[in-house]
Amino acid sequence: MSKQTLMPWFLGNPGDSLLEQVKQGIAYHNKAHEYRADMCLVHPVEFDQLMDVLQPEERELVIDGARVRPWRGVVLRHAFIGLDVEEEYESIIRLEMERSRREEEAMEPYKKIIGAQS
């Protein structure tokens, strides 16, 4: 199964707050994909705006299991929603090892036939 690590999301609906638009993006991602997002990257300026909404004792913004973090590589009014790259990398390695094992098992009967003909 191939998974897109990060899905772009446009935060340009003037009728909704920035926080509401981020929530909508995460909800859409979780509905559209077979896995739940655990990360949402936004521009640092917008991250500061989102953090202003929080209570003073709150140090981290987590929406439906996705941790919102600032990243300078994100263009204003956009977000990238998806999986933390390290977790995704580990998942890909596990999937590849499992696929390789299944391929080896599938080749066993043919190896016996080829070995018998030699």
Contact 49, 11 (CB under 8 A): no
Instruction: Report, as an integer, the average pLDDT of 110-114.
Output: 76
pLDDT given at position 117: 66
Kindly give, in sequence order, each residue whose CB lies less than 8 Å from that of residue 53, ignoring residues fewer than 6 positions away. Answer: 19
Instruction: Give the pairing type, strands 78-82 and 6-10.
Output: antiparallel
Count other C-beta atoms under 10 Å from residue 61's C-beta. 18
Over the stretch 22-65, which tens digit does the pLDDT of each residue have? 999 999 999 998 889 999 999 999 999 999 888 777 778 999 99
Task: Please give the DSSP secondary-structure letter assigned to residue 115.
Answer: H
pLDDT given at position 118: 57
pLDDT given at position 116: 64
pLDDT given at position 1: 32
Contact 50, 19 (CB under 8 A): yes
Over the stretch 58-97, which tens digit does the pLDDT of each residue have? 778 999 999 999 999 899 999 999 988 665 556 666 777 7
